[in-house]
Amino acid sequence: MSAGTLARGLFLATFGEPPEGVWSSPGRLNLIGEHTDYNEGFALPFAIPQRTAVAAAPRTDGRLVLVSAQRPGVVGLAASELAKGAVAGWAAYPLGVLWAIRELRGEDLFEAGLSLAIASDVPTGAGLSSSAALECATALALNDLAQLRLNRHQLAAAGRRAENEMVGAPTGILDQLASLLSPSDAALLLDCRDGEATPVPLGFAAAGLAVLVADSGVHHHLADGGYAQRRAQCEVAAQVLGVPSLREATPALLAQHRERLGPLLFRRARHVVTENARVLDTVRLVREGEAREIGGLITASHASLRDDFEVSVPELDAIVEAANGAGALGARMVGGGFGGSALALVPRELLPQVSAAIAGTFAARGVPAPPVVEVIPSAPGHRDT
Ligand code: GLA
């Protein structure tokens, strides 16, 4: 059953009447370009088939009432009480979006109240942007219900603001732009400096390639310290280099300031500079019809995230090594790191071997292997019904 159907059923069961509409938005897989977004750099995500759906309708009693198929209980508060810090837990994501849109518009939207029922099949903590899927589905719902006519960049920004200021995770704009702007059958080259988003057909099917994703089972939370610390280190590195962001840094500039940066900041900055170049090289190769050649860039991205940015974990390294050992063209961790999933780019005929090799890393740990799934570019956020 789709997340949209589940959300509609949950709404009916909880509130005793059908919703006014159902909106859904996908998780994303970032093919390459990790920890570049908040450095104003490049990334190449695509929307995955898994989605989060929000069934919604206005109320008349001045209350905001939320339920989720994934969490127990009902969350409720007076619409007039919505403020930064007023909500914790999962409801901070959707209510944070309402708060951010109120801030953007400078008006008290949904003062008379709002009911939301949420259902999702995006795995949480897996580096596949379950939070952005929830934020973006909510933003689409609020935009339509209140007839705000905000564009998708504005909705994405509201989602990010919810996550930054209501949830307290200092993330970039990658996930929200990917969820709302990805084309249904291609990846999206994002320039995170100005939000420019360019569709990039990957040509994987024609090249006989598939993308596998495996959840390491090690789960992270981006409001934990490691992500914020990396972000802060990048900002300090940019200051030392005398550039507005690491987007503006070059290998030559890094070499020139190596001493002043010190070894740690040098490595952090080197990851960002080289990762931006890898994104652009990946786009160039797929545009030239050389999709099979991007595997080396994908594995180099992993090495850089592991050694220079230090956001991988041994479980992800093991998946990457196993996949590459079994014939994947390239593999890497995806998302913010400290756990989550890894992807592998695999010649279709080798899917069984690579999946089995990945499963073997779990057997070695003595934990049951999760399903290793193939993902293909899928639809962006939309109104379902
Ligand atoms: C998380 C954040 C994104 C981005 C990635 C790393 O998914 O939400 O903004 O920084 O990590 O690329």
Q: Which residues contact 277 (CB under 8 A, 6 or more apart)?
A: none
Angle CA(329)–CA(335)–CA(338) in degrees, nearest 5? 105
pLDDT on residue 107 = 95
Ligand 1 center to 37 CA (angstroms): 7
Assess whether the C-beta atom of 189 lies below 6 angstroms from ligand 1: no
Residue with the nearest Cα to atom 2 of ligand 1? 171
Ligand 1 center to 50 CA (angstroms): 18
pLDDT on residue 145 = 98
* Cα–Cα distance for residue pair 347/44, rounded to 1 Å: 20
* Cα–Cα distance for residue pair 216/7, rounded to 1 Å: 28
Assess whether the C-beta atom of 246 lies below 6 angstroms from ligand 1: no
pLDDT on residue 192 = 98
pLDDT on residue 370 = 84
Neighbours of 251 (CB within 10 A): 11
Instruction: Clarify whether 175 is annotated catalytic.
Output: yes
pLDDT on residue 222 = 63
* Cα–Cα distance for residue pair 330/292, rounded to 1 Å: 9
Q: Average pLDDT by consecutive 10-residue portion of the chain (385 residues)?
A: 97 98 98 98 98 98 98 97 95 98 97 98 94 98 98 98 96 98 98 98 97 92 82 98 98 98 98 99 98 98 98 97 98 96 98 97 92 96 98
Q: Ligand 1, closest atom to CA 336? A: 11
- Cα R_g (the chain), whole angstroms: 21
* Cα–Cα distance for residue pair 192/272, rounded to 1 Å: 13
First to last CA, the chain: 15
Assess whether the C-beta atom of 335 lies below 6 angstroms from ligand 1: yes
Assess whether the C-beta atom of 384 lies below 6 angstroms from ligand 1: no
Assess whether the C-beta atom of 341 lies below 6 angstroms from ligand 1: no
Ligand 1 center to 222 CA (angstroms): 8
Ligand 1 center to 61 CA (angstroms): 38
* Cα–Cα distance for residue pair 26/333, rounded to 1 Å: 19
Active-site pick, 37, 175, 317, 384: 175
Ligand 1 center to 170 CA (angstroms): 9
Token pair of 214, please?
């495996």
Ligand 1 center to 323 CA (angstroms): 23
Assess whether the C-beta atom of 377 lies below 6 angstroms from ligand 1: no
Pocket test for ligand 1, best of 131, 220, 222 (most atoms within 8 A of CB): 222
* Cα–Cα distance for residue pair 171/160, rounded to 1 Å: 7
pLDDT on residue 221 = 66
pLDDT on residue 151 = 98
Pocket test for ligand 1, best of 37, 275, 301, 311 (most atoms within 8 A of CB): 37
